[in-house]
Structure 1
Amino acid sequence: MIENWMAEVQKTRRTLRCNMLETVLNEFDSRITGLSHDKRKQKYRQMAENPFRFFRGNAYLFYYDVTKIPFSFHTPEDKPTWIQGDMHLENFGAFQNSEGDLVYDVNDFDEGYMGSYVYDLLRMTVSIALYCEQYGFTDSEERMRTFLQAYYKQLKKFVKGKESPVTLFFTEENTKGPIRKVLKKLEKRDLARLLDRWTVKEAGRRMFALSEELQPVTQKEQQKIEAAWCQYVESLDEEDRKKSEFYEIKHIVRKSGSGTASIGLDRFYILIEGKEECEQELDDIILEMKEVRAPVPAYFMPYDEEFWLRYGHQGERVVTTQKAMHHHDDPFLGFVTIDNRHFYVRERSPYKKRIKPEDIENNQEFDKVLEVFGGIAAKIHARADRDIEHSLLDYHSEEEILKAIGEEYDAFETQLIFMSMAYKERVKSDYVLFCGWLNTKFI
């Protein structure tokens, strides 16, 4: 009899959680994003690869859950941080900034919004725990401590004036281990490598090489992008803007196969002239134009009317987030509207690269990576508060975060790691439910 009741209780709990999962997935992927059945199947098959991929692909479930959990160290609601919004291990990477420096930094800003810094840290530490299990690193709690301590120490350096978030960035000179190795390898990378990979020359004219990843656009899509292109050029910072012939479109293709969470959002690669009349050498440049929607955290954070009034265009919001968090940002950052849908544009960097599991030999090497990631997380939180024109924030985020932690760093660390480990187990159990639901609903 007891066994029957236990089985019934477990069945009910699984049923209720599975119903909730289905409701959240339907709301965001079907009603809000408008994914077709086939696009949902494509996205969910990627999410079904492993618990870490499942976690990456559904930030909305994460925020649905964790914003209901009390936490002792939030900043006040009227002192939010400009957060990255989807901070996990695979949203950091190397690239070349506009000054020619090879840097390692955050490289995804689609979910940028105003909210508690805690959610960036919690999403990151949960990803560390899942990554450790997925790729065989031990003692995930110690790995999380490494990240959190690096974050906290960097914030203190900013507040004490020892370093500035405006000038600090991470290069070969101030990194160690796998990140330094990646940056050193990139020094040898040929600028033409990206063009060689994605394009061919036909009758003396460069074009994209069509493939499974790069598909032709329709004539209507081509016309709409070309008609709106002047909007994009006008959105560029005046000091970065060149003559119109520099941005002349040579070829457009649809890009597929990028990003689990981005499936169903249009993404195009656009080849532009990249030179002005006075320049002799051909210098074609690949731009990426990506559709973007309202950020996931916005559905769960306190409503900020001033933010929405200022950043009603979601492409502008993403561009502004990147400018706020980076130094020497991409001079091709801009935004455009097509058919009432919002897009942002950026250069497809030939130096784009991130650390992969096989690049990390052991826990000690992983810690060197996490120390840099902690410093980067502190830098983007501290830098985004006041260092862009007409900022929404009139205070220093690093000061407010340290006030929230106070003299109780050990308690802060313990509480956050406890929450992360508990949520990691939730992700793993949700993953099992998700795979069962997927096999039932998306055969």
Structure 2
Amino acid sequence: MSSGIRNEITETKRYLRKQLLATIFNQFDGKLMGLSDEDRGNKYRKMSKDPYSFFRGSAYLFYYDVTGLPFTFHTPENKPTWLLGDLHFDNISAFQNEKKEVVFDVDDFDEGYFGSYLYDVLRMVVSIRLMSSQHGYTGDDTEEFVESFLNDYIGQLQRFYSGEEDPVQLQFTKANTSGPIQNVLHNLEEKWTSTEVESSAAQFDSIKTAIDDDNLVDLSHQEKEEFLRVWEDYIESISSNIKKHPQFYAVKDVMKKAGAGIGSTGLERYYIMIAGEGHSNIILEAKEARTPIPAYFFPYDETFWKENQHQGRRVVHTQQAMHHKADPYLGYLTFNGHDFYVRERSLFTNELRDDDLQEFDSMVDTVKTMAKITAKIHARADVDIEDGLMDHHSEEAILHEIESNRTRFIQQLMVWSAYYQKVVEADFQLFNEWISETPKLQDKTNKKPIRSQ
């Protein structure tokens, strides 16, 4: 084949893929999300940092690509798993649960939906590959990380299925973790037990003193009045078995902020200080919820939507299903025509840092724990929970598809994830080219540096 024909074929493929990227981004960020040029610039500036950031911000591209592929190990449509929907390295962190216990668990439920478990697993193993590449690990190292994740995911499901462990009760704490995750949990425990920190947390007198963020703004008088009116709907939505007296939820202060995460850009957020009891003010976060991305690509699930027509309620149900001890402030409301979910805005959280993942053994320990957490959220959010929407055990349905040929399952996902890592890296280059060729996006994307979140 002559070099001219080869170049023509290569450039045609790149052109067509770039056009596909443009179509998908314009449809989701433009038409469906309704992001302004400014918001799209903010989002794309974060995504243009590296392939992993691009992957985080383009979940719709991921689902477009993978839902049409004939993977061998899907569970049948009548035995779905409750998915996190956007599982990756940065959506698992350390925080306090309602009993003030420090745990390591998933922390972002915006894309929760019903479907095959395999999509969460596929998204996570690609995330592992991109994160490994970003930290300079070799190809052989990365293969071991992915294989460790898959083996431990299966192993944890087997322990649930045999009754050795209970997904409803299992938590990941300092006692049953190791490496960087154990260190992150230990550091957060020390931060909480500090007399100075504990005292200051109980006595802050405004949202701005509790949350150090220059992007918080006051509401107009009219907007605040309307927000206070719908706040009654939030109180009504709280589970009756944990709801306190109405005065407990009395609003003392409320401020607004635009979404900060890559995927959350353009979503409205409100921070609300409520009275609580005694002198301990409590900060809640009301975050806008939209139709989850997987829903655009999966078969329509009438059972799921019958219970989750309100997008905020859907997110609340997802968190309640996946967490051992769910936030007691979980609730939802509708404000200015948009659905929101409400949760506590914990002042005591901790995430893995780049420095925590520089050693091979540290990465292995981390992916193993993340695999167990993935198995836990999948096995817990089914018939095991009181208000579950399923009539089967997810771990049994998943293992039925995997156990007959575990070796092939691992090989298939390792080969596919290595392939899709290259797709993401090539798409990242096309994405940046597309921005540079689109004047209004180039102008907004290059306008100013993104403040670290």
Q: TM-score range by the shorter chain?
A: over 0.9
Closer/same/farther in 2, CA of residues 304 and 207 from structure 1, 3 Å limit = closer
Q: Which amino acid aligns with 2:160?
A: F
Where in structure 1 do 4 or more consecutive aligned residues deviate above 4 Å? 191-197
Closer/same/farther in 2, CA of residues 194 and 207 from structure 1, 3 Å limit = farther
Counterpart of 1:330 in structure 2 is 327
Answer yes or no: is the 8 Å Cα contact 2:384–2:393 preserved in 1.
Answer: no
Answer yes or no: is the 8 Å Cα contact 1:323–1:388 preserved in 2.
Answer: no
Matched, 1:212 2:214: yes
Answer yes or no: is the 8 Å Cα contact 1:208–1:251 preserved in 2.
Answer: no
Q: Which amino acid aligns with 2:403?
A: G
Matched, 1:66 2:96: no
Partner of 1:406, secondary structure, is helix
Matched, 1:363 2:360: yes
Q: Which amino acid aligns with 1:354?
A: E
Shift in Å at residue 244 of structure 1?
1.4
Counterpart of 1:17 in structure 2 is 17
Question: Gaps spanning 5+ residues in structure 1: where?
Answer: none
Counterpart of 1:113 in structure 2 is 113
Partner of 2:93, secondary structure, is strand
Closer/same/farther in 2, CA of residues 195 and 59 from structure 1, 3 Å limit = farther
Matched, 1:304 2:311: no
Deviations 1:243-278 (A, max 9, x none): 111111111112246201100110111111111xxx
Shift in Å at residue 228 of structure 1?
0.5
Answer yes or no: is the 8 Å Cα contact 1:81–1:117 preserved in 2.
Answer: yes
Answer yes or no: is the 8 Å Cα contact 2:104–2:181 preserved in 1.
Answer: yes
Looking at structure 1, the residues matched to 207 and 416 of structure 2 have their Cα atoms a distance apart, in angstroms, of: 50
Partner of 1:329, secondary structure, is coil
Looking at structure 1, the residues matched to 191 and 81 of structure 2 have their Cα atoms a distance apart, in angstroms, of: 36
Residue of 283, 291, 294 corresponding to 1:294: 291
Deviations 1:316-345 (A, max 9, x none): 000000000111110000000112210000
Q: Which amino acid aligns with 2:87?
A: M
Alignment of structure 1 residues 17-416 onto 2, 5 Å: 17-138=17-138, 139-190=141-192, 193=197, 205-209=205-209, 211-256=213-258, 258-275=260-277, 279=278, 282-416=279-413
Closer/same/farther in 2, CA of residues 129 and 194 from structure 1, 3 Å limit = farther
Looking at structure 1, the residues matched to 376 and 131 of structure 2 have their Cα atoms a distance apart, in angstroms, of: 23
Question: Gaps spanning 5+ residues in structure 2: where?
Answer: 443-453
Closer/same/farther in 2, CA of residues 194 and 419 from structure 1, 3 Å limit = farther
Looking at structure 2, the residues matched to 42 and 245 of structure 1 have their Cα atoms a distance apart, in angstroms, of: 39
Answer yes or no: is the 8 Å Cα contact 2:207–2:255 preserved in 1.
Answer: no
Q: Which amino acid aligns with 1:42?
A: N
Answer yes or no: is the 8 Å Cα contact 1:323–1:329 preserved in 2.
Answer: yes
Looking at structure 2, the residues matched to 235 and 56 of structure 1 have their Cα atoms a distance apart, in angstroms, of: 31
Give the TM-score normalised by structure 2. 0.92
Q: Which amino acid aligns with 1:175?
A: T
Counterpart of 1:421 in structure 2 is 418
Answer yes or no: is the 8 Å Cα contact 2:93–2:104 preserved in 1.
Answer: yes
Answer yes or no: is the 8 Å Cα contact 1:104–1:170 preserved in 2.
Answer: yes
Shift in Å at residue 185 of structure 1?
1.1
Looking at structure 2, the residues matched to 388 and 152 of structure 1 have their Cα atoms a distance apart, in angstroms, of: 21
Q: Which amino acid aligns with 1:335?
A: Y
Q: Which amino acid aligns with 1:351?
A: F
Looking at structure 1, the residues matched to 54 and 198 of structure 2 have their Cα atoms a distance apart, in angstroms, of: 30
Aligned length: 434
Looking at structure 1, the residues matched to 344 and 213 of structure 2 have their Cα atoms a distance apart, in angstroms, of: 20
Looking at structure 2, the residues matched to 35 and 195 of structure 1 have their Cα atoms a distance apart, in angstroms, of: 40
Closer/same/farther in 2, CA of residues 252 and 395 from structure 1, 3 Å limit = same
Q: Which amino acid aligns with 2:26?
A: N
Looking at structure 1, the residues matched to 247 and 388 of structure 2 have their Cα atoms a distance apart, in angstroms, of: 33
Q: Which amino acid aligns with 1:232?
A: Y
Shift in Å at residue 217 of structure 1?
2.3
Closer/same/farther in 2, CA of residues 390 and 185 from structure 1, 3 Å limit = closer
Answer yes or no: is the 8 Å Cα contact 2:135–2:358 preserved in 1.
Answer: no
Deviations 1:280-304 (A, max 9, x none): xx10111111001010001111111
Looking at structure 1, the residues matched to 257 and 224 of structure 2 have their Cα atoms a distance apart, in angstroms, of: 14
Answer yes or no: is the 8 Å Cα contact 2:254–2:271 preserved in 1.
Answer: yes
Closer/same/farther in 2, CA of residues 176 and 211 from structure 1, 3 Å limit = closer
Looking at structure 1, the residues matched to 319 and 229 of structure 2 have their Cα atoms a distance apart, in angstroms, of: 26
Range with bigger deviation, 390-399 or 116-125:
390-399
Q: Which amino acid aligns with 2:30?
A: S
Residue of 408, 424, 434 corresponding to 1:437: 434
Looking at structure 1, the residues matched to 213 and 261 of structure 2 have their Cα atoms a distance apart, in angstroms, of: 18
Looking at structure 2, the residues matched to 207 and 406 of structure 1 have their Cα atoms a distance apart, in angstroms, of: 51
Answer yes or no: is the 8 Å Cα contact 1:207–1:250 preserved in 2.
Answer: no
Counterpart of 2:448 in structure 1 is none
